[in-house]
A and B are shown apart, each in its own frame.
Chain A
Amino acid sequence: MELGPIWRSLTRNKAGSVLIALQIAVTLAIMVNAIAIMQERAEQMGRPSGTDEANIFTLSSTAFVPDTNIQSLIEEDLKLIRSQPGVVEAIATNSFPLRQGGSARGFQLEPGAGKETLTGAVYYTDEHAIEAFGTHLVDGANFAPNQVVWGGQNGDEWPANIIITESFAKTLFPDTAESAIGKTVFVDDTRPVQIIGIIDRLQAPWRNWGEIENTVIVPLRQEGQQQWYLVRTEPGAQDRIMPEVEELLAQSNKNRIIQSVRTMQEVRDRSYLSDNAMIKMLGFIVTLLILITGLGIVGLASFNVSRRTRQIGIRRALGATRAQVINYFRIENLLISGLGIAVGAVLAIALNLFLVNAFSLTPMSWYVIPLAMLAMWVVGQIAVIGPARRASRISPAIATRSG
């Protein structure tokens, strides 16, 4: 190993090497944090919604005649949809996971104004919801049909019972190992509602909401002009049923508009469109940075080969094999990269701390920096191999040429 002489030689010609080391450092810092952001977004995108996404589609029905009997329209629509072969279940709901629009209410453990309130997303629907969403009841019981009430969209009416997610149960009752079943919480300060069931998971409609797992199913059908229908089909039947249901509903009542007919996969894709774009953009930037850094290393190494053509010839004349010449440039690159990588690691941590504090980013995983360091080292070694091989082909006879 020629570490000592190579290092001493580098310190005699610092400018190019320092610039490349800085480039590596900056690339590493940006790369690490971009990966951390990409990872965070990817993890968000990968969270299960708690529904049987592969077999669910949704559509919206908007009645445009003012005096339409919404109650009977909903009942007829649901009856029609549920009668279709291949349909597992269907509900009318105010929203569903990933829709990016919906309702949330404050729940408190004690009645009265000014008490601590915990927010949960609410899905106003009926006793078919658990089966329609494809979520699972883990404790308690489902709603009985007679527990479902009708109400307007102003939220004045509230049924006596609710079903909540496990996550929300833990949020409401963090200090007890007891089941939340049978416990009473209060909505709108004083209105008591009893928890009768707990489901394993059902995400709120907003993908970026911090309490996304805190969800409540309320057995209340809202009588609004606009309704969302969520339909769960048997596996493989969705593509056939979707257009059929759209057509059936459109034909059954022509005084409304059927629109936004989408599979849950489409809903998910639309919901995470910006995250997906962000991941692609950051991926592109990281790739570009690595490429530019790699080209910088190639450039510096090529320049060094050209500048040291005679020196390489002398080394060859003094007995260096081609492999030793290649190793020389690889070690030189290792030292430059090592410096850049070390500085880059510190920069990356500093930048991540800043991002975590300034933008509430999740701190990066411990393994991102070592992996990025390894990646930069590999990039450096790959980038230098071409110029190094060119150097190894320099003839030792160059040493006897006057110059």
Chain B
Amino acid sequence: MLKMTHVSKIYRTDTVETHALREFSLTVDEGEFVSVTGPSGSGKTTFLNIAGLLEELSGGTYELDGRDISSLTDSERSKVRNEKIGFIFQSFNLIPELNIFDNVDVPLRYRGFKAPERQRRIERGLELVGLASRMKHYPAQLSGGQQQRVAIARALAGEPRFLLADEPTGNLDTEMAVSVLDLLDEINAGGTTIIMVTHELSLAKRARRNIFVRDGRVSDRPPEIRLAASAGQV
């Protein structure tokens, strides 16, 4: 499904060169629920940006569904994002000027679906997240948890095979966070591959597999576990 081999990402300014990812290799199989954790600045978001085709990689190879992503044009990358990847962001990223219906509609319009098909998908998506009755509401009229549910409905409306979640519960209280994670479990159980980036180990445990990132590389264990091991407590 997703295969990154020796991927690197370097941000350059006139004077500074920052290696955000180094020799980053990872394979995620179809249907997996993988969490990616690591401390701030470890490269989690850069990994997510590259996995979601939001940024181009500087080196290495990235294959999505067996297709080499690095050779795609900007339009092709947009098409892959639209058709294969669903995004859930920490700050929900709903468009404040659009109502809930129109927000979920955004990626479907880019996909070129006809109106009846879009309506069917929007209604189904909002029903799945329990917000079918709020279609005409605007984001500002919803709670944080409800907004994130709308974002999930938007991510799922296009029936992507691959869901990327960036700190999906970062702006939610515990109760809402649990409900969102329950929803992600449900979605994963339906066959959708999920990669969730989070800095909270407790949330990462909800995933079937945990990946730890440190200094732009995949690390075999989380920092806390390694620290505990060196103290002879594990």
Q: Which residues in A have some Cβ–Cβ distance to B below 8 Å?
A: 2, 4-5, 8-9, 12-13, 310-311, 314-324, 395-397, 399-400, 402-403
Contact = CB atoms under 8 A, between A and B. Distances in A.
A308 to B, nearest CB: 9
B110 A8 contact: no
Given A317-B52, A317-B54, 10 more contacts: A4-B102, A5-B98, A9-B97, A13-B97, A315-B95, A319-B83, A320-B78, A397-B49, A400-B48, A400-B54
Contacts of A397: 49, 54-55
Given A396-B54, A397-B55, A321 B78 contact: yes
A400 B49 contact: yes
B87 interface: yes
Contacts of B109: 2, 5
Contact of A396 (B45, B81, B91): B81
B75 A323 contact: yes
A311 B54 contact: no
A402 B78 contact: no
A270 B109 CA distance: 63
Interface of B: 45, 48-49, 52-55, 74-75, 78-79, 81-83, 87, 89-91, 93, 95, 97-99, 102, 105-107, 109-111, 138, 154, 158, 166
Contact of A319 (B55, B81, B91, B138): B81
Contact of B87 (A4, A12, A317): A317
B110 A320 contact: yes
B234 to A, nearest CB: 33
A4 B99 CA distance: 12
Contacts of B52: 317, 400
A395 B77 CA distance: 12
Contacts of B79: 319, 321
Contacts of A13: 97
Contacts of B93: 310, 314, 317, 399
Contacts of A395: 54-55
B115 to A, nearest CB: 9
A4 B98 CA distance: 10
> Which 4 pairs show the lowest CB-CB distances between chains A and B?
A319-B82, A9-B97, A397-B54, A318-B107
Contact of B105 (A5, A320, A396): A5
Contact of B110 (A311, A319, A399, A402): A319
Nearest to B170: A402
A12 B97 CA distance: 6
B78 A316 contact: yes
Given A395-B54, A402-B90, A8 B154 contact: no
Given A8-B99, A9-B98, A397-B54, A322 B75 contact: yes
B75 A321 contact: yes
A403 B90 CA distance: 9
A318 B87 contact: yes
Contacts of B111: 319
B180 to A, nearest CB: 17
A319 B78 contact: yes
A402 B81 contact: no
Residue from the set A310, A320, A395 with the largest chain B CB neighbour count within 10 Å: A320
Contact of A318 (B74, B102, B154): B154
B98 A8 contact: yes
Nearest to A392: B74
A5 B108 CA distance: 13
8 contacts: A5-B109, A8-B97, A314-B89, A317-B52, A317-B87, A318-B106, A324-B110, A396-B81
Given A317-B52, A317-B81, A400-B45, A311 B91 contact: no
A8 B95 contact: no
B127 to A, nearest CB: 21
Given A12-B97, A318-B110, A319-B110, A400 B166 contact: yes
Given A8-B102, A319-B83, A314 B95 contact: yes
A118 to B, nearest CB: 68
Nearest to B81: A319
Nearest to B80: A319
B90 to A, nearest CB: 7
Nearest to A397: B54
Contacts of B95: 9, 311, 314-315
A13 B138 CA distance: 14
A264 B67 CA distance: 80
Nearest to A401: B45
A321 B78 CA distance: 6
Nearest to B109: A2
A320 B83 CA distance: 11
A402 B170 CA distance: 11
Given A397-B55, A399-B89, A400-B48, A321 B102 contact: no
A402 B44 CA distance: 13
B76 to A, nearest CB: 9
A5 B118 CA distance: 13
A315 B87 CA distance: 11
A349 to B, nearest CB: 34
Nearest to A2: B109
A177 B82 CA distance: 78
Contacts of B81: 317-319, 396
A397 B102 CA distance: 22
A315 B97 contact: no
A165 B74 CA distance: 74
Residue from the set A13, A317, A319 with the largest chain B CB neighbour count within 10 Å: A319
Contacts of B54: 316-317, 395-397, 399-400
A260 B191 CA distance: 97
